[in-house]
Amino acid sequence: MTPKRVELDLADLSVRQVNAALQAADQGIFHVLHPGGEHALACGLDAPIEVHVDGHVGYYCAGMNKHASVTVRGNAGTGCAENIMSGLVRVQGDASQSLAATGHGGLVVVEGSASARAGISMKGVDIVVGGDVGHMSAFMAQAGHLVVLGDAGSDLGDSIYEAEIFVRGSVASLGADCEEKPLDEEHRSILAGLLQRAGFAVDTATFKRYGSARRLYHFSIDHMDEY
């Protein structure tokens, strides 16, 4: 049976009405029209529905997503897919700061660039950015993967825990306790899987890998310069 296609037009409906309809659905394809940069659109979803937002969105679009697939056909404001648990969030334009902040799982794809603090405190989410990421990306990143096809801003991976970062372009600077690591076969395989899931056909050999030096895991007076 073909899933039903539903249009939700923000020219006629409130954000609450649109979100209530999406949160109540357990299946279906939904098109959210005239988003007009509204905040908190398609947040708190908890079912394998498909949502297409036809335009730009404000803060926290697809926040705390579970199971759903949300595509933004435009740019996304701060905290897109924050604390995502599972499912897929794709931004076809650019994303503002704190992309997928604290995300626990799922996949977040930005076809353009993402601003500062992409993947801040990420806890298992996979993030693939087609363009660049801003400063302090993957700050305190705990788990998951951040893949950047363009360049990374300053202080990449500052105070990083066990997350993995792959960057194809330049890195302005690494943050405290973040270091370059070998890109071995195991990691190339992980990277290839992420790129394939995100829909980017790029040679994995062109990336560098970064992760935690694990020097700050226990407080030590010998590392005072890094604190």
Partner 1 sequence: MSDHPDKPHTPQTVPRKSATFDDYTLSEIRRAAATGIYDIRGGGAKRRLPHFDDLLFLGASMSRYPLEGYRERCDTAVTLGTRFASKPIELKIPITIAGMSFGSLSAQAKEALGRGATAMGTSTTTGDGGMTEEERGHSAKLVYQVLPSRYGMNPDDLRRADAIEVVVGQGAKPGGGGMLLGQKITARVAAMRTLPEGIDQRSACRHPDWTGPDDLAIKIRELREITAWEKPIYVKIGAARPYYDTALSVKAGADVVVVDGMQGGTAATQDVFIEHVGIPTLAAVREAVRALQELDMHRKVQLIISGGIRSGADVAKALALGADAVSIGTAALVAIGDNDPALEEEYQKLGTTAGAYDDWHEGNDPAGITTQRPELAQRLDPVKAGRRLANYLAVMTMELQTLARANGKSNVLNLEPEDLVALTVEAAAMAGVPLAGTRWIPGSDA
Q: Is residue 86 at the binding interface for partner 1, with CB under 8 A as the rule? A: no
Burial of residue 133 (number of CB atoms within 10 Å: 0-12, 13-18, 19+): buried
| CA distances (Å), origin 141, targets 60, 75, 76, 117, 204 | 19, 24, 21, 10, 22
Name the one range near partner 1 by CB under 8 A: 68-76, 97-105, 187-195, 202-210.
Answer: 97-105
- Are 204 and 184 in contact by the 8 Å Cβ rule? The answer is no
Q: Is residue 165 at the binding interface for partner 1, with CB under 8 A as the rule? A: no
- 205: which 2 tokens? 């050999």
If you search the block for the tokens 């096809």, which residue do you land on? 149
Q: Which of 29, 64, 176, 213 binds partner 1 (CB under 8 A)?
A: 64
Backbone φ and ψ of 149, nearest 5°:
-80, -20
For the CB of residue 23, give the shortest distance to partner 1 in the complex, in Å: 7
Q: Is residue 43 at the binding interface for partner 1, with CB under 8 A as the rule? A: yes
Q: Is residue 37 at the binding interface for partner 1, with CB under 8 A as the rule? A: no
Q: Is residue 104 at the binding interface for partner 1, with CB under 8 A as the rule? A: yes
Name the one range near partner 1 by CB under 8 A: 87-95, 166-174, 182-190, 214-222.
Answer: 214-222
Q: Which of 34, 48, 142, 213 binds partner 1 (CB under 8 A)?
A: 142
If you search the block for the tokens 């959210």, which residue do you land on? 32
Q: Is residue 39 at the binding interface for partner 1, with CB under 8 A as the rule? A: yes
For the CB of residue 12, give the shortest distance to partner 1 in the complex, in Å: 18
Q: Is residue 59 at the binding interface for partner 1, with CB under 8 A as the rule? A: yes
For the CB of residue 79, give the shortest distance to partner 1 in the complex, in Å: 4
Q: Is residue 101 at the binding interface for partner 1, with CB under 8 A as the rule? A: yes
- d(Cα 61, Cα 39) in Å, to the nearest integer? 7
Helix (H, G, I), strand (E, B) or coil at 188: helix
For the CB of residue 218, give the shortest distance to partner 1 in the complex, in Å: 5
Rank residues 162 and 203 by Cβ distance to partner 1 and give the closer one: 162
The alpha carbon torsion through 185, 191, 196, 201 (nearest 10 deg) reads -90
- d(Cα 215, Cα 162) in Å, to the nearest integer? 12
